[in-house]
Amino acid sequence: MSHNHTIHRHCHHFTWDNSIEPVYSVEPGKSLNFEVTDSSAGQLNSKSVKEDVAGLDFERVNPVNGPVYVNGAQPGDTLEVEIEGFGPQSWGWTAVIPGFGLLHEQFQDPYLKIWDLKKGKAEFLSGIEIPIAPFPGTIGVALPEKGAYSVVPPRKNGGNMDIRHLTRGTKLYLPVWTEGALFSVGDTHAAQGDGEVCGTAIEAPMDIQLRFKLHKGKQISEPQFETPGPLNPGPESKGYFATTGYGEDLMTATKKAVTYMIEHLVMKYGLSDVEAYALCSVAVDLKLSEVVDVPHYLVSAYLPLNIFK
């Protein structure tokens, strides 16, 4: 990564609020380096244990670096953010947090997996290795409405979208509603499955380098992006195993598909229930297989078989 100005990890905030003063101004066409902490804002570290998970302060999760003022950005413009690269990752964590996640009713006890990423790989258990494919989970601009809004959910400004295809070479387009756009980024992940079902991915501190461009007078309603792909990291030669879930609403269908995948991982690979749930969050991809026959929905959960060595 080139040596551009760095937005350091202490320059962060926990809400979208267009009254927050920018920490830096950048010219369109220029790049910035962001020194991103993990999504717990340092509440967890490489020595943490599962008992630390229950004590997480949700008022201090998903910090985002910034905001950065983009010179010339005005309401009605579109901000283009090109992801140029990521710094190395040394460690990460995946947790099941009581009261949080798709299946929080089933998994009420804390769980924590600490990952060693220093060798450029992510071993879940012996014989199970997740391809590293870093991306920012939370990225966006200030909202037009006054006041403070949580960074935990996704919103029309971007926010905590957890789109794992925002990898190196991707161009993200964000609507501008305030002067300067007031851009922020954080919540970097080393890997994740589509859906992030247990509520966490491989949460990992790392640097990210971004380049900014303005499209004047071109307004979009919500984020859009171009990604160079591939859509799935690592070789696909081993194929997939998939479970399906039917329901008369998408949440029911999704929960069933994931529950059946957990059952498969337990029976075939000998994982515990909570290990299988965490593995689904970092490796299994959810897909909307059928939405046309309302109110009948079908969701599929795809397990990439290349993770089993």
pLDDT tens across the length of the chain (309 residues) = 556 899 999 999 999 999 999 999 999 999 999 999 999 999 999 999 999 999 999 999 999 999 999 999 999 999 999 999 999 999 999 999 999 999 999 999 999 999 999 988 899 999 999 999 999 999 999 999 999 999 999 999 999 999 999 999 999 999 999 999 999 999 999 999 999 999 999 999 999 999 999 999 999 999 999 999 888 877 677 899 999 999 999 999 999 999 999 999 999 999 999 999 999 999 999 999 999 999 999 999 999 999 998
20-43 burial code (b ≥16 CB/10 A, e <16): eebbeebebeebbbbbbbbbbbeb
Question: How do strand 31-36 and strand 6-7 relate by DSSP bridges?
Answer: parallel
Q: Which domains does the chain have, with CATH numbers?
A: 6-226 (2.60.120.580), 240-307 (3.10.28.20)
Whether the CB-CB separation of 176 and 76 falls below 8 Å is answered with: yes
DSSP 43: S
